[in-house]
Structure 1
Amino acid sequence: MSGGKFDLPARKLLVQDVLMLKNKGGHWNYSEDGLSFNVSVLWVQGQVVACKKDKSEVCLQDGDFKINIINCRNIPGGNSWISEGQYVMVVGGVEQDSSGKRAVRAIKMADLSINAVHQSTWNHEVAEIKMLMRENPDMCR
């Protein structure tokens, strides 16, 4: 099926980038660093610094920035493995809650704690994809 939110790859963004997204006519837009593109599905990584008792929602920290990850009880494989201190990746969509705070509605989560390389290279991965997008504007579509 064409035209769906999964037609494009998830956009790798830092949590600080997600917090700067603007909602333009129902579409979340990134417009920084000489780039401008819509974000329907994103990929973030960070450390779980808090989670609800039922693990339906967690707070993810990436550097100095935090964001709530919601819908964790509906991820494939369940959420029983989630715990504070883990370094995780989250693929999901951007939402704004009733208080105006940004959140990510999880579609998929994975524990990346087993290998410290995931955390140490994350900023470089995001910087690299932004560089590639500046060099290849067609990637911003």
Structure 2
Amino acid sequence: MGSRVHPEYGESASLVVDGTIRIAEDGAPVLVGTECTNCHYVGFPPTSFCRRCLSENVTSVDLSREGELRTYTIVRTGQEGFEAPYACGYVSLPEGVRLYSLLTGWESGGLEVGTSVRLILDKITVDSESNEPLFGHCFRLGAGDADD
């Protein structure tokens, strides 16, 4: 199953979504973090200062699209607005960033610690007031697969 990506994401290679996601020239999503020019700490989401040394000398940096699943859970009784079951977990990126994210592609198996994952944009839920779909970052199991 392919991603259900918001149509506006495909219109511009430089479109930035709330400052944390941009679409690269190849059409793939990229998470945007910050790197400290003093201590080289990389963080996500982006901030105006370094969370390690508190320096304000930070620059925007594109994070890797592929990472490794470090831990996960399958939620069987979901939060309002999310259809259970769904999977979420912590993903480690090569830059040292670890982030919590929804996971896709787990239904067919292969959900294990150490599994390679790849960043995608997907429909997360539906806005309760407008009934419009809400999109965000997720990680699909099986980095290197060409089916997203």
State the TM bucket, normalised to the shorter chain: 0.3 to 0.5
TM-score by length of 2: 0.40
Structure with bigger helix share is 1
TM-score by length of 1: 0.42
Higher Cα Rg: structure 1 or 2? 2
